[in-house]
Amino acid sequence: NRLSITSLDQGGVLINDSYNANPVSMVAALEAGREIAGNRRFVAVLGDMYELGEYEQEGHRRVGAKAAQLGVDILITIGEKSRLISEEAYNCGLPVQHIFHFPAKEDSIPLLLTKISKKDTVLFKASRGMQLETLVNDWLKQD
């Protein structure tokens, strides 16, 4: 799914940009999400960015730094490469209790279903190969 913004029944907003990701687009999505969130809790569910070559580590870390700078309320990272996003967010001051990392997207489902509500503004963003839209669908199905 290319960027789509959907109002949720309970007052939250879903920002689904699970089609593609690079450091520039991920930083832009975080900035937009923070702005859209307003007074709502802002949750970022971020997956790996592929095909970054030698820029892989720096690119993922840049996203983590931006998440910390914007004060993301909950940062959920999924995948091997995205661990660097979580690490850098922590290094840049995002409190550890706001950061969750999962090696595989399936591992994140219990947290998504119990801690993330339809009152939140939730951004899902990752490279296409992560198939993050399946996670979006699982989350939307919950009551």
Q: Flag whether pLDDT at 1 surpasses 60.
A: no
pLDDT confidence of residue 143: 63
CATH 3.90.190.20 for domain 4-141, yes or no, is yes
pLDDT confidence of residue 32: 94
pLDDT grade, residue 53 (50/70/90)?
confident
Domain ranges of the chain: 4-141
HEC assignment per residue over the chain = CCCEEEECCCCCEEEEECCCCCHHHHHHHHHHHHHHHCCCCEEEEEECCCCCHHHHHHHHHHHHHHHHHHCCCEEEEECCCCHHHHHHHHHCCCCHHHEEEECCHHHHHHHHHHHCCCCCEEEEECCHHHCCHHHHHHHHHCC
